[in-house]
Amino acid sequence: MRVLLQRVKSASVAVGGRVQGRIGQGLLAFVGIAHADDESHVQWMCEKILRLRIFEDEAGKMNLSVADVGGGILVVSQFTLYGDASKGNRPGFSEAAPPEKAERLYDETVRRLRGMTQLPVETGSFRAEMAVTLVNDGPVTILLER
């Protein structure tokens, strides 16, 4: 499981021109699921997302979590995190889980995040063409892998 986290001042995702999810300050989490992933990967990743201290405290140190700052989380599925362009010029996606499995674990990720926090957890639509808009804060971008 790979999650590309971006600390944002704001972010939104639209499907068909209609905004489906929107947050202010918080985390934009692009989620990719691999063949070998299971619920234990989801649990670890959800805990990491909620506890990762990448927001600045009063001293300007990255010492606060998204919960500490009362931020939101926008979760967007992105199988292209498993794109492999090491051979040729067109990426292959053979490491990405099949859509049925990926959707189940993506939905489980959202469900667990919502169950573990009172913070707003917004989403895009699985397998949809989405337009993601964000204002990166920092910029701070962290790749998590489990």
- List, by residue number, the catalytic residues: 78-80
Q: How far apart are CA 77 and CA 107, in angstroms?
A: 10
Strand-pairing partners, residue 134, are 11
Q: How far apart are CA 56 and CA 80, in angstroms?
A: 30
Number of H helices, E strands in the chain: 2, 8
Tallying the residues shown for the chain, one arrives at 146
Q: Is the dihedral of CA 107, 111, 117, 121 positive or negative?
A: positive
Q: How far apart are CA 3 and CA 31, in angstroms?
A: 5
Q: How far apart are CA 76 and CA 124, in angstroms?
A: 5
